Amino acid sequence: MQAIRDAAVGRDILVDGYNVIKNTPSLRAVESKSLAAARDLLISQLVNRYRHTPHQVIVVFDGSSTGEQVSHDRRVRIIYSRHGETADNVIARLAAQARVAGQEVELYSDDREVQQSVARQGGKARSTGQLTGQLNAAPRDVARRARHRQAMRHAYGLDHKYDPAAQSQPKRSSHRKIKGPSHRG
């Protein structure tokens, strides 16, 4: 029932941008060469992960301008905090606004203070590792097909390393193939 509700109503996905970059090895490697490239890669990964969902994705970075800067990139809202305000403060404000609006919030950060701030507003705090797992995971349909293929390879004796306890078994169809009339000549 929860999955049906989530599919119909999106939630606000808040991402602590620099925290995710610093705590994700692949993004950290890109950051060592170019911080802008690491930000672009994170945003591209978020776009790819959430493009077919009703969720609103907001990635927040510490900024240095006199005013808060907001832009959009392929359905991801990007916010740079104003000088003197941290991304953590912006995230706390966004979580409070979402609560007032009755919107569910999910935060991705390893910063305990930010996690607690969002949790006080009724949001769910997740780790950067959980986000990375989602960003790097195969789409559900691809993963389902891969499990099915693996099970079929095992069923036909083509994969002796398959462990059925490690994977859920695919549902077998109750439909039988109907053979057409044979042509004898």
Range(s) of the domain holding residue 57: 2-136
Q: Please enumerate in sequence order all residues whose Cβ is within 8 A of that of 89, keeping only pairs 6 or more positions apart, or say none.
A: 81
For residue 108, give the 3-state DSSP assignment: strand
Give the chain's domain count: 1
Task: Flag whether 47 is in a domain.
Answer: yes
The sign one gets for the Cα dihedral 134, 135, 141, 142 is negative
User: pLDDT per residue over 13-51, tens digit each?
Assistant: 999 999 999 998 889 999 999 999 999 999 999 998 888
Neighbours of 166 (CB within 10 A): 7
Task: Flag whether 13 is in a domain.
Answer: yes
Could you tell me how many residues make up the chain?
A: 185
**What is d(CA 87, CA 73) in angstroms, rounded to the nearest whole number?**
18
For residue 2, the model assigns a pLDDT of: 46
Task: Flag whether 124 is in a domain.
Answer: yes
Task: Flag whether 156 is in a domain.
Answer: no
Q: With a cut of 80, say whether residue 144 has pLDDT above it.
A: no
**CATH code (residue 132):** 3.40.50
Q: With a cut of 50, say whether residue 5 has pLDDT above it.
A: no
Q: Is the Cβ–Cβ distance between 66 and 96 less than 8 Å?
A: no
**What is d(CA 162, CA 155) in angstroms, rounded to the nearest whole number?**
9
Task: Flag whether 151 is in a domain.
Answer: no
State the residue for tokens 């390879």.
Answer: 153
Q: With a cut of 90, say whether residue 137 has pLDDT above it.
A: no
User: pLDDT per residue over 41-91, tens digit each?
Assistant: 999 999 988 888 889 999 999 888 888 888 888 889 999 999 988 998 999
Neighbours of 42 (CB within 10 A): 26
